[in-house]
C-alpha cells in the first residue's frame, strides 16, 4: 500500500547532503487517550542510503506504533519526525514516497492481482494503460507475472503477501515499511520470502524498516537491529550486523550468525519484563 500526504503546492526540494539523515526522530512519544504510554522519548535516525533496519522487541513495545507514526498513519503525542532530504509542500510538510506492507496482505478480494497492484496508481489518477508496464514489472519482481488475472482466493498465503509487496513497490517508494509481514506464514515460505525480500532491497534502491518478533529473521535480514523494550516502548540497543550481502544458507549456519543471534537474544531477554511469557523465536 502506498502512503503519501496530500500535496497542495510543493516547495523546492531541500538541498541534498549525504550527511543528512533520510528520517530523523527526536524524542518521539505516544500516549493514547486511555493513558497507555506506547512509546517514550525515542531518538532514531535513518541514514540517507539503502539500509535494512529491523525493529525487534516483545509485544507491546511500540514497534508497530513507531512504524505507523513514521508513515503518518498515527500522530505522535510529542517529539518531531523530520525528513531533511525529502521534498516538502508550501506549509513545510514532508512529502515522502512510502510503501507500507501490513501484517495481513489487505488485498481487495473482488479485484484481480493486477488491479490490486494498480490501486496506488488509481489513487494518483493514472490510467491502467499508463502504468501497465510498471505493474507487470513489479509482478515479475515478486515472481507473479503469470498470476496477473488471478484473484486473492486463488492464491496461497505467501503469494498474497507477494502481491502486497508488489503493490507497495509499484510507485518506487523511498522507504518500504513492513509490519511483521511474514509472521503468519509457514517456515519454508517465510525463509523463501526473506531471500526474495533481500534481493528486492539490493536491486531497488530502498530503505527498509522491518518489524519482527524473530531473532533469527532479524539477524538474517538486517544490517542494523534496533531493540525495543515495553511498558513504555523505548530503545535499549542499536546493533549493527557486520556481515556481507548477499546472505545465504551458509550465513545461517555460520558462527558469526549464531554469535549475533545470541547477542540479540540477550538484549531481547533484557527487554522482556519478568511477567512476559512470550517466547523468542
**Domain architecture of the chain: domains with CATH:** 22-96+214-275 (3.40.50.300)
| Percent of residues, the chain, with pLDDT higher than 90 | 78
Q: Which residues contact 277 (CB under 8 A, 6 or more apart)?
A: none
Ranges 126-130, 254-258, 273-277: which has the least confidence: 273-277
Question: Is the N-terminal amide bond of 232 cis, ω within 30° of 0?
Answer: yes
List pLDDT tens digits, range 14-35.
Answer: 444 458 899 999 999 999 999 9
With contact defined as beta carbons under 8 Å apart, do 27 and 42 qualify?
yes
Distance CA 202, CA 51 (A): 10
Cα 94-97-103 angle, rounded to 5 deg: 115
Strand segments, DSSP code E, in 139-180 are 175-179
With contact defined as beta carbons under 8 Å apart, do 209 and 180 qualify?
no
Pull the grid cell for residue 109: 478480494
Average pLDDT over residues 91-101: 88
For residue 6, what pLDDT band results from cuts at 50, 70 and 90? very low
pTM: 0.88
Average pLDDT over residues 99-111: 95
CA-based nearest residue to 121, from 143, 97, 147: 97
Q: Which residues contact 242 (CB under 8 A, 6 or more apart)?
A: none
Amino acid at each position: 500500500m502506498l502512503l503519501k500526504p496530500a500535496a497542495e503546492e510543493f516547495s523546492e526540494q531541500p538541498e541534498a547532503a549525504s550527511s543528512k539523515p533520510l528520517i530523523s526522530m527526536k524524542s518521539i512519544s505516544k500516549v493514547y487517550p486511555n493513558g497507555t504510554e506506547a512509546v517514550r522519548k525515542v531518538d532514531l535516525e535513518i541514514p540517507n542510503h539503502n539500509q535494512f533496519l529491523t525493529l525487534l522487541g516483545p509485544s507491546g513495545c511500540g514497534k508497530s506504533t513507531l512504524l505507523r507514526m513514521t508513515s503518518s498513519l498515527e500522530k505522535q503525542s510529542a517529539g518531531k519526525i523530520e525528513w531533511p532530504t525529502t521534498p516538502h509542500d508550501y506549509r513545510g510538510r514532508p512529502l515522502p514516497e512510502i510503501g507500507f506492507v501490513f501484517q495481513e496482505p489487505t488485498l481487495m478480494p473482488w479485484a484481480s492481482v493486477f488491479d490490486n497492484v494498480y490501486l496506488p496508481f488509481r489513487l494518483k489518477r493514472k490510467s491502467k494503460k499508463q502504468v501497465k508496464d510498471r505493474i507487470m514489472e513489479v509482478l515479475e519482481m515478486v515472481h507473479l507475472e503469470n498470476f496477473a488475472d488471478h484473484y486473492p482466493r486463488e492464491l496461497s498465503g505467501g503469494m498474497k503477501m507477494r502481491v502486497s509487496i508488489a503493490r507497495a513497490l509499484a510507485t518506487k517508494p523511498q522507504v518500504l515499511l513492513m509490519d511483521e509481514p511474514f509472521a503468519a506464514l509457514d517456515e519454508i515460505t517465510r525463509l523463501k520470502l526473506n531471500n526474495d525480500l533481500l534481493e528486492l532491497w539490493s536491486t531497488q534502491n530502498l530503505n527498509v524498516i522491518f518489524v519482527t518478533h524473530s531473532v533469527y529473521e532479524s539477524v538474517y535480514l538486517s544490517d542494523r537491529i534496533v531493540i525495543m523494550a515495553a511498558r513504555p516502548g523505548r530503545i535499549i540497543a542499536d546493533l549493527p550486523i557486520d556481515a556481507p550481502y548477499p546472505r545465504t544458507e551458509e550465513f545461517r549456519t555460520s558462527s558469526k550468525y549464531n554469535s549475533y543471534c545470541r547477542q540479540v537474544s540477550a538484549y531481547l531477554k533484557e527487554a522482556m519484563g519478568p511477567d512476559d511469557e512470550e517466547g523468542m523465536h
